[in-house]
Structure 1
Amino acid sequence: MMKALFTALVLLSAPVVAQPKPTPPAPADTFFRQLLETRFFNSGRPSGVTLAPDEKTVFFLRNSPTSKALSLFAFDVATQETRELLTPAALLKGADEKLSPEEQARRERMRVTSRGFSSFALSEDGANLLVGLSGKLYVVARASGKVTELQTGPGVIDPRFAPTGTQVGYVREHDVYRLDLATNTERRVTQGGTPEKTHGLAEFIAQEEMGRYTGYWWSPDAKLLAYTEADTSGVEKLAIANTTTPEASARRLSYPRAGTANAQVRLGLISANGGKTTWVRWDAAKYPYLATVKWPAKGPLTVLVQNRTQTEEVLLAVDVKTGRTTPLHVETDEAWLNLDQTFPHWLSDGSGFLWRTERNGSAELELRDTTGKLVRSLVPPGAGFSSLAAYVEGEETVYFNGGTSTPESYLWRVRKGQAPTRVTTGGPALEWGRVSKNGALIVVTSEGPTSMKSSSVLKGDGTRLGELPSLATEPPFKPRLEVRQVGTGKDRYATSLVRPRDAKPGVKLPVIVEVYGGPETQMVRQSMAQSLVAQWMADQGFIVVRLDARGASPLADRKLRKPKYDFARVLLDEQVVALRELAKVVPELDLNRVGITGGSHGGYMSALAVLTRPEVFKAAVAVSAVTDWRDYDTHLTERFLGLPGENPQAYEQSSLLTHVKAGQPMGKLMVIHGTADDNVFFFHALKLSDALFRAGQPHEFLPLHGISHMVFADPLVAERMYEETLRYFKQNL
């Protein structure tokens, strides 16, 4: 039996052909280890930038170049001096940081790998700062620097100040609590929360797909709280087992696969002192998704709800006394609607709200009145609006991040309906701007093809005041990044490539395509940080390429941006066309030796490429790949493919298993997957490997023991994974 099992495993995990002699192990690659230990050379750079309302101070988080533990700092705008406000070490006093399972899951959804102060909050008056560490909360008085530990019970999640600054809300024991800062005493607000019926926590779908990470909201006067009740008792339970400890019980998670039941979510209103809950009422049968909740200083409590396939959403104003709702606006899209948690953005006087729409072909920013009626367009379609940085009401000025050139992004200003103008100069670059409420202070974080991320402090007119200090180690080289548009007419593709630093003109080299390939996803970026791994791979004898589909452009035709039902084939065909167009202008690309790799959706696209287009893609390394979309979550999957019962053909054609056939030509494939992945479960990889094995299709299979969807969270595992990836491409290309 043992011999038979061993033989089966060998056949399953390696090609059934003669293998070349193994290459002796190379010396330790100190660059790649340093790359991962410094989080791609971003450790030591300011993050979590927050501007004080008085526009005198910029708060931020920063760690040392080799530590994940973030500390809290303050930059004085007038003196340009930086001081350390608080460190994790000072609070822990030598103890290890501990995270509850709930907090670990929440950080997994938010893709947070840092430790220490992973986030902080500033009270609306700017007087106090709130940080959490090891399940405990601390308030830092800005004027005196005094640190007060809040007397909460254990396991605090999602702590936030009330708008008045006198209380702090949070969730623990599956219920909402509040703590009065004057007396440092806590009070349970909701009652009866359980692991399967939580109060105040965002459910899995909200966190993973909607970008909503909270489940409670304060009223402006802090007398009431709105909170979600997420009932997962009817949601399918999937298990994650640690096979190295078979005596231990498997971890069971509520995970709604496509076509199955979601969590039942409702919104309640309750006094901050507790008591009876008033439930908000809307047509939940038609609009089951509670996507967004906003409770502005002036204006109504507002909720955005969506239908199951996300083709229609309704913005509702809530009567907080009765829970009744009134429609303010309805938005539809024949493909799907994209969510942006910034909106609705209510004006400070409650006279209307800002709204993002794609109704007129591409992203547009509108001003609407209190009834939802359109007042005017503030940023027109075609301007490349990506995200709102600020709306300075007194000046009727919009600041937004984005632009029309997809490999680049800048901070733009639109004054009183005039044409957008850039706040900064120079480029090419990727910028993200943060603007104070009155517009007198701006922080622009920027990176480029030859520069790592830095954060500049500016006046409202763009005059530079200083820079948030960085301690980061700089990379030992600059990537040979080349970004270009290829193709003709409207059929233009953004592409990038990185050659070996010792590449010789005219010498053909094998190609590795780095792919993600989801709808509306941009991979080609003017970024040094995002090109470091590509340069490491290129230096081992490849040209590393990234290719954007035409639909990645924010100005693309709607049908190109949102290819419904058959999205995978359409987007893979786009990769092939873009690659061939790039080869027309870069003759060094050897199209007879092309590999492809990616993670998550990129892993899916990589496997699909060698299964369906082996004449183009000779080898693939698929990491954390979805195998069958019927096994992925409802909100993302049904957005692209509809409901399984209504569109079974879409699911069948999108499944990798459909394209695994005995005797059918396919490229070489390595499957890599973490055994503890709670986003794309490990059974996806097992299903694919089993199908390949039964079809007699040689492949390699590398399980990553105990690793979640964030494979880069463990530097050693990520390093070994990339070593295996390069070995595989060297062997097969």
Structure 2
Amino acid sequence: MRYLVAALLLASLPVFAQTVAKPMNDPKTDTFLRQFAETRRFMSGRPTKPRITPDEKTVLFLRAQPTSATQTLFAFDVATGETKELLTPEILLRGAEETLTVEEQARRERMRVSAKGFTGYDLSDDGQRILVSLSGKLYVFERATGKVLELKTGPGVIDPHFSPDGKQVAYVRGHDVYRLELATNTEKRVTQGGTEAKTHGLAEFVAQEEMRRYSGFWWSPEAKHLAYTESDTTGVEKLTIVDVMRPERGGNTFPYPRPGKANAVVRLGIIPIAGGKTVWVDWDAKKYPYVATVTWKKGGPLTVLVQNRTQTEQQLLSVDAATGKTRLLLTEKDDAWLNLDQDFPRWLEDGSGFLWYTERNGGPEVELRKPDGSLAQSWVKPAAGFFGLARYVDADRTLYFYGDPNPTQSYLWRVRDGGAPEKLSTGTQGPAHEQFAHVAKSGGLSVATTQTATTMPRFVVLRSDGTRVGELPSVAVEPPFAPNAQFFQVGKEGFHASVLRPRNAKPGVKLPVVIKVYAGPTTTVVRHSMAENLLNQWMADKGFLVVKFDGRGTPLRTAAWERTVKYDFATATLDDQIAALKALAEKVPEVDLARVGIEGWSFGGYMAALAVLKRPDFFKAAVSGAPVVDWLDYDTHYTERYLGLPQEHPEAYEKSSLLTYAKDESKPMRPLLLIHGTADDNVYFFHTLKLSDALFRAGKPHDLLPLSGLTHMVPDPLVTQRQYEWVLGYFQKHL
């Protein structure tokens, strides 16, 4: 109850609160949840971010200890299979604590990075040098000698990258772009006049959060120029986050563009590395205000993809770096919206054309385009199930990608010169989900992560002929059990579904159901993934059926399937969860349709709250984490893509808002637990407070659990443990 009191004092909003049920699991005998939290979901100690050196003799990767979030740098020797530690944060910090600027913390939040220590690294094109960042400082590790050079930069370095020739490093510091010459270890300023409101070289909020464009500057192939964005947030609405437990610290204010309001004004400029006059790129920025993608690689010109505000039209432009003039390569249009993939365009190194991603023909497709933008051929057909590009090898015109026609599975595939896809086997038995692959530049070696419904993620090293070289070693704690997920396709729509039963379940005995929901665009939840089902199996073992469904509006089916939610988040998404569960009940007799709960986070939190507010006849309890309550309060690029501009489609926002259903006094109030981090800078905490206030005014009791100081991610192990104890207790009490 003290959490409730703290939230009430914070918001000055009266809230009816029911006492949350005390969890029935005894922490003294049930150690899984604590172990799950302390090992960061059993993922600490597993390799991450593998990179193959150009000579294909070494695979670099990061790895933490089993109960630590601090990652160190390792090297796997392909010839011997031996692994050695190259560099640790402790060596560089000499016992000091790692510190991050507010800007770097926000950037990591956008990238969903919760690790510490080395969270990434850059490898020079020749493979001889490794660049790492720590506490706002930069270090270069010489692989041949093992020596470490601390770069003499000013404080607060963000987003460092080697130049293509490996002789320089560029980065952002103090709102401007700098470069450092490695031979002399001398820092030089490139851009001038950057401010907090008009940054140079940093991606603006929506670029990072929604476009997945995390950088705001790019080296030219010959390393003599830099392209960079100038992001002017002067006119953007500012929102402030205060640590409510430490109000004496004041608040952090961020520009946050809400639907229908001003966005950052973004320009793209080109400047010599020695500094001087910026050449600004010329395009119709009034019609196409979003700088969605920028690339400047060998074989092609500086190329920029710009979008109109509603993301129904975009232009791919080549840029004359000397004048800033642009030439149209192609235009894409879609009546609903256009999805972005930051791996495209990908210019061929010989300049003969570029690879392009489109959904023009009903599904994800990769095309080969000529230098003038005209179509040469379709390289990966829509039916192939393309999900992500792993590598294009110029030497033999081979494209590697991961995906599958079945969205519950994913594999590494190879397409030679536009031919039929060939699956590259990692040796995994049964359906698998390979979420990441890194292929060497020459294509002779690859590293693929693979997992199944009963095996945790592993990084397998393969040669181009499919020979298994080895596996990047893990030191992770292995889970004490494997989930027993079953997979189905149900209903006339063929919804993908998964079910987890208690491991001691008796056939035919009815059990309460918890739907683990996301249901929104951009991701699916039904996957052959052990890691994603461990917590669900733990909950199932407490006496529940835990189920997941991917309905209309989710990706990886067809373009039309995903676009069902245009102008309406609240109808098909919820109807499909209900229809899928009813159809599942015909195949799984243990489903008790009279005891159905639902839980989710972010869009899933929105769906969970929507379920009990709109359909209390079907859903008996819900746990809603970090929900978007009113879509007028979320960001522009995401929301307007699906719901349009609020000035043009107010009805879309009205029918999609949880406040609409909270005010409906004709429907009974089912138990609803709201959970939200008070420092969330993606879905701000005031979302949950607005819903709590509306429910109170409508006379609808509910429960509220604020997570003090937490953001949209919840990396704190103890908070994770306590949070899910509350979630379990809530469903035990109400189902």
Q: Same fold (TM over 0.5)?
A: yes
Q: Does 1:283 align with 2:260?
A: no
One of 626, 651, 655 as aligned partner of 2:657: 655
**How many angstroms does 1:560 deviate by?**
4.6
Q: What CA distance in whole angstroms lies between the structure 1 residues aligned with 2:706 and 2:463? A: 51
Moved more, 178-187 or 723-732: 723-732
In 2: Cα distance, 1:197 partner to 1:441 partner: 43
One-letter amino acid of the counterpart of residue 580, structure 1: K
Q: Name the SS of the counterpart of 2:571 in structure 1.
A: helix
Task: Kindly indicate whether residue 460 of structure 2 is the aligned counterpart of residue 456 of structure 1.
Answer: yes
Q: Within 5 A, what are the aligned runs for 1:422-571?
A: 422-424=423-425, 426-431=429-434, 432-488=436-492, 491-519=493-521, 521-552=523-554, 554-556=556-558, 558-571=560-573
| Matched residue type, 2:573 | L
- Please report how far the alpha carbon of residue 586 of structure 1 lies from its aligned counterpart in structure 2 after TM superposition: 0.3
- Give the TM-score, by structure 2 length: 0.96
User: In structure 1, the residue corresponding to 2:350 is in which secondary structure?
Assistant: coil
User: C-alpha deviations, 1:656-710, integer Å up to 9, x for none?
Assistant: 0011122422322111111111111111111100000010011111111111111
Q: Contact 1:404–1:553 (CA<8 Å) still a contact in 2?
A: no
**Structure 2 counterpart of 1:459, one-letter code:** R
Q: Residues of 2 paired with 1:120 and 1:701: CA distance?
A: 40
Change (3 A) 1:234 1:542: same
Q: Is the Cα–Cα contact under 8 Å of residues 335 and 562 in structure 1 kept in the other structure?
A: no
Q: Is the 8 A contact 2:391 2:439 kept in 1?
A: yes
1:707 aligns with 2:733: no
Whether contact under 8 Å (1:447, 1:527) holds in the other structure is yes
The answer for the alignment partner of 1:200 in structure 2 is 201
Query: Structure 2 matches for 1:618-633, cutoff 5 A?
Result: 618-633=620-635
- Residue 27 in 1 paired to residue 30 in 2? no
Following TM superposition, by how much is the alpha carbon of 1:393 offset from its aligned partner in structure 2, in angstroms? 2.6
Question: Retained in 1: the 8 A contact 2:391–2:438?
Answer: yes
Deviation at 1:86, TM superposition (A): 0.5
Mapped partners of 1:187, 1:207: distance in 2 = 26
1:201 is displaced (CA, Å) by 0.5
Q: How much does 1:27 deviate?
A: 2.8
The corresponding residue for 1:332 is 333
Counterpart in the other structure of 1:680: 683
- CA shift for structure 1 position 561: 4.1
* Distance verdict in 2 for CA 1:82–1:560, change over 3 Å: closer
Match of 1:149 in 2: 150
Structure 1 CA distance for aligned equivalents of residues 13 and 687 of structure 2: 20
Match of 1:76 in 2: 77
Three-state SS of the structure 2 residue aligned to 1:451 is: coil
State the partner residue of 1:342: 343
Residue aligning to 1:373: 374
Taking the aligned partners of 1:515 and 1:179, their CA distance within structure 2 comes to 47
Can you list the C-alpha shifts for 1:56-99, whole angstroms capped at 9, x where unaligned? 11110011101111111111111211111101111111111111
Cα 1:553–1:211 shift into 2, 3 Å:
closer
Give, in whole Å, the separation in 2 of the partners of 1:520 and 1:576: 21
Offset of residue 127 of structure 1 = 1.3
1:557, distance to aligned residue in structure 2 (A)? 5.5
The one of 597, 600, 605 aligned to 1:598: 600
Shift of 1:394: 3.0
Structure 1: stretches of 5+ with no match in the other structure? none
State the one-letter code of the partner of 1:449. A
Structure 2 matches for 1:61-72, cutoff 5 A? 61-72=62-73
Q: In the alignment, what sits opposite 1:14?
A: 17
In structure 1, the partner of 2:587 is 585
Counterpart mapping for 1:348-363 below 5 A: 348-363=349-364
Cα deviation, residue 551, structure 1: 4.8
8 Å contact from structure 1 (residues 499, 544) kept in 2: yes
Q: Percent identity?
A: 61
Determine the C-alpha separation between the residues in 1 that align with 2:250 and 2:437: 47
Letter of the 1:219 partner, please give it: S
Deviation, structure 1 residue 298: 2.2
Offset from partner CA, 1:81-128 (integer Å, 9 cap, x none)? 111110111111111111111111110110100011100000011111
Kindly provide the CA deviation profile for residues 479-512 of structure 1, in whole angstroms up to 9, marking residues without a partner as x. Answer: 1111121224xx2011001111111111111000
**Greater Cα offset, 519-528 or 571-580:** 519-528
Output the amino acid matched with 1:689.
Answer: S
> Cα deviations across residues 359-408 of structure 1 (Å, max 9, x unaligned)?
00101110001100100011111110111112223322221100011111
Alignment of 1:211-360 (within 5 A): 211-360=212-361
Task: For residues 560-597 of structure 1, give each alpha carbon's deviation from its aligned partner in whole angstroms, at most 9, with x where no partner exists.
Answer: 54420013311111111111111110010111000001
Q: Residues 302 and 315 of structure 1 are in contact (CA less than 8 Å); yes or no, is this contact kept in structure 2? A: yes
TM-score (norm. length: structure 1): 0.96
3-state SS of paired residue (1:99): coil
Tell me how far 1:421 sits from its aligned partner: 1.9
Contact 1:382 / 1:555 at 8 angstroms: preserved in 2? no
Contact 1:216 1:226 in 2 (8 A): yes
SS in 2 for 1:394: coil
Structure 1 segment 63-212 matched on structure 2, within 5 A:
63-212=64-213
Contact 2:520 2:553 in 1 (8 A): no
Residue matched to 1:726: 728
Contact 1:671 1:685 in 2 (8 A): yes
* Residue 23 of structure 1: how far off its partner (Å): 6.7
Rate the CA distance shift 1:599–1:54 in 2: closer, same or farther, 3 A: same
Shift of 1:721: 1.1
- In the TM superposition, residue 559 of structure 1 has moved relative to its aligned partner by 4.7
Distance 1:79 1:612 in 2: 60
Helix, strand or coil at the partner of 1:155 = coil
Q: Secondary structure at the match of 2:612?
A: helix
CA contact (8 A) 1:550 1:556 kept: no
Aligned-partner Cα distance in 2 for 1:413–1:521: 23
Helix, strand or coil at the partner of 2:596: strand
Judged with a 3 Å threshold, the aligned counterparts in structure 2 of structure 1 residues 224 and 136 are, in CA distance, closer, same or farther, namely same
